[in-house]
Amino acid sequence: MHASENSHDDFLFIDDSDEDEILEGGSGDTWQVLIVDDDPEIHSVTQLALSDLVVLGRKLEYVHAYSGQDACKLIVENPDIVLVLLDVVMETDDAGLTVVKYIREALNRQDIRIVLRTGQPGYAPEESVIKEYDINDYKTKTELTRRKLVTTVYAAIRAYQQISSVSESRQGLEKIVSGSSTLLELHSIAQYSQGTLKQLVQLLAQDIGGLFCARGQGIIEDADDLSFYIIAQQAMSSQLVNQKLDTLQNEEISKQVKACFTQKTHQYFDDSLYLYLARGGYRAVVYLNLSEALSDIQKQLLEVFLTGIAIGYENVHLFQKLNNAAYKDWLTNLPNRLAFVRLLDNFVKSDNESEVAALIDLNHFSDVNDALGQDVGNKLLAAVAKRLQSLSCHCKVARVGADVFGIIGAESCVTPETLMTFFELPFTAGEQKLLINACFGFCRKEHANTSGVKVLNQINIALNLAKKKRIEHFAYYNSEMEDETQWRLNMIRALRSDFADDRLELWYQPQLSLVSGKVIGAEALLRWRTADGGFISPSVFIPLAEYSGLIIEIGDWVINQACSQIKVLEQHSFDNITISVNVSIPQFRLGNFVDTVLTAINSHKVPAEKLELEITENILMDDPQVVIDALVRLKEHNISIALDDFGTGFSSMSYLQKLPLDRLKVDRAFITDIAKENQSVLAETIIDLGQKMNLKVIAEGVEELEQQTRLRELGCDEVQGFYYAKPMPQDEFLDFLRSNN
């Protein structure tokens, strides 16, 4: 302990000026001042000298330390200390400087003001101390008269307040920047509103509650009025969200929110505030209840923050519009295909193993558009969407395509039976009552792939299979379906490649007259010879060609090959042989089909009557008028027309009368047991019908002598089948003609 400095105590009571002291009106708050000195009398006289001082509206409150170590502990225990009157020389020569270092470096308190006092200035050079540390003032005790001490304290506290204000502003701005960055990541109006309330709580550093209010129209689903709705809440009740403001049953809050909105200005109260947000036509009001009144700095920071919030509120509305355009169906307001893929992504990631995803395809929807107009079609789609949304198990519904809907829900709810019931009653579309049905494809969670896009493909595979079923119009996906689809794609790819490489061939099965036994024609049959020399059955690749659309090119090629064969037969003096070619419905649907056939005949310079086109009843059922119109034109040019597989389909007899036919072909199904007792009735009926319609009748699939005998008895004109000859390549067919004619 050093020598006492009491000899210098009297300096505190010297009045060196006639000027008045710096005093202001007081308040209930105080400034905490720490007096650090190893001499108790210094504490007393200092406190006495400053006893009446009021600085910036507050009196002083004193904390006392008698050593550097005590001072360090007290500063930690009293975070509200604003000023330290610090003796330099105490338990050590530099004890005071150690306290300074501890405050600035260990505690990182740059706001506390420090006034060094010493009676032995030689121990602490003034210049080096002030340069090294942030010290408010440095005085020897002999310099500090009462007035100078008051002035020094006043200046130090004012400096503290300025630093605190700057620090508070800086921290507030940091919160604003951080909060704004956080809000930028929120893209829905609900998330943004909730995020705004949370950021306001952090900015104001108060335990407060609040509401984010706006007109519900365009924000709250099904809200079509201009009432104020609660978009988000803070520390109140989550049940208030998306409810009208009046649900709160607080007349004062409702009144002030509406006043703030109408007057377009903030409303500040000691215990609450109402903040007005407006930007680009988007307006809202934020209500906050306060635990204490806001400071001027807080109000200024709030103004800065709200400017950014208003801009963000407009942006989030614009983003919502873009999001709706990208992920919502404009007609039904349901999620669209892209959104459904997102829902399927969540379906895949969900732990709920009892969910199922499905696609619903409306049957013959295009007929509604064609017959009743697109406006009625749109109303029908809207009605279907509304009915699907009425499922009681909280399913997710989307419009995936023009007339295709997607649905995800519990497997116990999303079932074929449940969905079929939705189509049992008519749908109201404007003034129309329309009864429609649909096909359904399903995918259970256990079979779902790893992404939404892949799952959508899986359900689509099941849906396509369901469309082909005649009785059950639904199917559940399984892995075999995908294998089959992959196989089909590979086969189509190989067919396209081999067709380009001329691996397809026309073989010919002779057709004979039952009367003369001579060959009168041949049916051209398509064969696919693979690179390894094997053959793929027409029953396999013809449907694939039709499915892929390749049948159009192949069909043109077949007609040209048939015409070329007719020309070859003429060159070998087989002038009376007709070549029959099978035609598919996709060929008829081409507007230029008739012209294509006529061009082939003219380019090969063959008689039109030597070419016969065979159609099936199924083709006639698919699009009868298109087929009839084309056949009538072809018949005008003397091209022969045959109806194949007659009796196996369900074509109307009225259509049959309109067809310009030359021949009826009796299907092999009616020939197999024709020689057995009472098994020839259908064949006899067809032959009799053909005779009455003045048509030639040819039976196919003849394999036994007994069948031939019975057909001759029934008056059949012509035959073909293995009993006479199998299909054969061009060269073998010529040899067959030479040996039989």
Query: For every residue of 246-274, which 3-state class applies, written as one string?
Result: HHHCCHHHHHHHHHHHHHCCCEECCCEEE
Q: Which of 110-114, 339-343, 662-666 has the lowest mean pLDDT?
A: 110-114
Mean pLDDT of 447-464: 94
In which element (H, E) is residue 287 found?
strand 282-289
- Among the listed residues 243, 247, 192, the one whose alpha carbon sits nearest the alpha carbon of residue 221: 243
Q: How many CB atoms lie within 10 A of CB 662?
A: 18
The encoded tokens of residue 467 equal: 């469309």
Span 686-737, pLDDT tens digits? 999 999 999 999 999 999 999 999 999 999 999 999 999 999 999 999 999 9
Please identify, in words, the CATH class of the domain defined by 495-740. Answer: alpha beta
Percent share of the chain, pLDDT over 70: 91
- Among the listed residues 196, 187, 186, the one whose alpha carbon sits nearest the alpha carbon of residue 309: 196
pLDDT at 679: 87
Mean pLDDT of 464-484: 88
| Superfamily of domain 186-327 in the CATH hierarchy | GAF domain (3.30.450.40)
pLDDT at 127: 60
Mean pLDDT of 34-57: 89
Same fold, 337-477 and 495-740: no
pLDDT at 578: 96
Domain ranges of the chain: 6-168, 186-327, 337-477, 495-740
Virtual torsion, Cα 447, 453, 457, 459, nearest 10 deg: 50
Residue 7 has pLDDT above 60, yes or no: no
Between 110 and 288, the more confident residue is 288
Mean pLDDT (the chain) is: 88
pLDDT at 26: 40
Between 442 and 589, the more confident residue is 442
Residue 18 has pLDDT above 90, yes or no: no
Residue 144 has pLDDT above 80, yes or no: no
Q: Which numeric CATH code is attached to 337-477?
A: 3.30.70.270
Mean pLDDT of 473-486: 88
Mean pLDDT of 22-26: 41
Residue 67 has pLDDT above 90, yes or no: yes
Span 558-609, pLDDT tens digits? 999 999 999 999 999 998 999 999 998 889 888 889 999 999 999 999 999 9
Do you know the residue count of the chain? Answer: 741
pLDDT at 25: 39
Span 192-230, pLDDT tens digits? 999 999 999 888 888 889 999 999 887 887 777 788 999
Mean pLDDT of 489-503: 93
Mean pLDDT of 100-114: 89
Q: How many CB atoms lie within 10 A of CB 420?
A: 14
Return d(Cα 437, Cα 416) in angstroms, integer: 12
Q: Between 1.10.760.10, 3.30.930.10, 3.40.50.150, 3.40.50.2300, what CATH number should domain 6-168 receive?
A: 3.40.50.2300
Residue 138 has pLDDT above 60, yes or no: yes
Is 212:193 a contact under the CB 8 Å cutoff? Answer: yes
